[in-house]
Amino acid sequence: MMFLDTFHTSVDLGTTNLLIGIKGEGIVFNEPFVLAIERDSGRIAAIGKEAELVAEKTPKSMTVTSPMRRGVIADYSLAEAFLKQSFRKCVRGRALRRPSVAVGIPTSAKDIDRQALYQVLENAGAGTITCCHESIAAAVGLGLPIWEPRGVALCDVGGGVSEISVLCLGGVITTILLPLAGVDFNAAIRKYLQAVYNLNIGNRTAEYLKIQSSSSAAGENDSMVTVSGVNRLAGLPQRLQVSTREVHQVMTPLFTQISDAIKKALRQVSPELMADIVESGIVVSGGGALLSGLRHFIEREVGIAVIAAEEPLTCLAVGLMSALDDSRPNRARRRTLKQDTTLLSVTFSNDKDC
């Protein structure tokens, strides 16, 4: 078989979603990072959107799970199986060499985490693998001036973790990884409704409540939202009207933890960098950027303007493409696994034909 030139891809392994981009084509795969699995046989019945549709509706013979926990791979076999099917969808029947992959990792990731990620991607069919710091890649995807001698503050609030970074001259000045993000907002809402109203709701209903309450002028304008669930005492269906201000107050303690982490990161920078950040503001990316209530809360607590990223959910996948370009970001590429938090990427080579 004749093989064409390899194609370049970016892979954003999020706690809740997996995004794959192809150079020259943009984002071609963006689906929930979940799988529906038959308990007895272990066979994968569905992945992505199809699996999410049946979440919390499956019979006892099937379970829906995610291979990711708090931004890292928790189940390597499931992650590998998901990636294999995802790569297959992206190839669309073209005869190609193994794809060249740029993948994001937390800035604080250890060598063992990088090696494990490399092994999963290699087994899933990747060729050359470039591991990039997520904060730098996201900033590149947003077009932030991180290569200039000025400080840039980025707060990425994802599904499972929040990462606060200060960047300058293409390097990471300081970073804080907080194990708190979107899934915790949902869990807090569900727990509150159980305790106060004896109402059990699903994760998607909690997600809906979270968005509605945050869009209600940061909790200042109150409105009522109707949700359906199960009364945990009677075991029967129940509809309930919930105040958006009430839900906003439930999430406030979690917002406080994020703002405190931002304050901690800012205390570690020089006065000159602080002046840059005060002038340009703090950029929020990830799913948290869609929560106006969170942005207003941070702005009020920290005292610095907070700006929502224009493409908060896809900026990382877009920025990862820069690691495969013959451009300035690529000058930081290395072919070793030496620990250095200032590097943009480390590259592994596994150029085998399919």
**What is the pLDDT at residue 167?**
95
In angstroms, the CA 190 to CA 247 distance is 10
- Pairing mode of beta strands 35-38, 62-65: antiparallel
Residue 298 near residue 254, CB atoms below 8 Å = no
Bridge partners of 64? 36
**What is the pLDDT at residue 52?**
84
| 272 SS3 class | helix
**What is the pLDDT at residue 164?**
95
Q: Is the pTM of this model over 0.75?
A: yes
Bridge partners of 322? none
- Pairing mode of beta strands 199-200, 224-231: antiparallel
Q: Which domains does the chain have, with CATH numbers?
A: 8-137+315-348 (3.30.420.40), 141-180+252-308 (3.30.420.40), 182-250 (3.90.640.10)
With a cut of 50, which residues of the chain have pLDDT below it? 1-5, 219, 326-354
Residue that the structure tokens 């794809």 belong to:
99
For 198, phi then psi, to 5°, come to: 55, 35
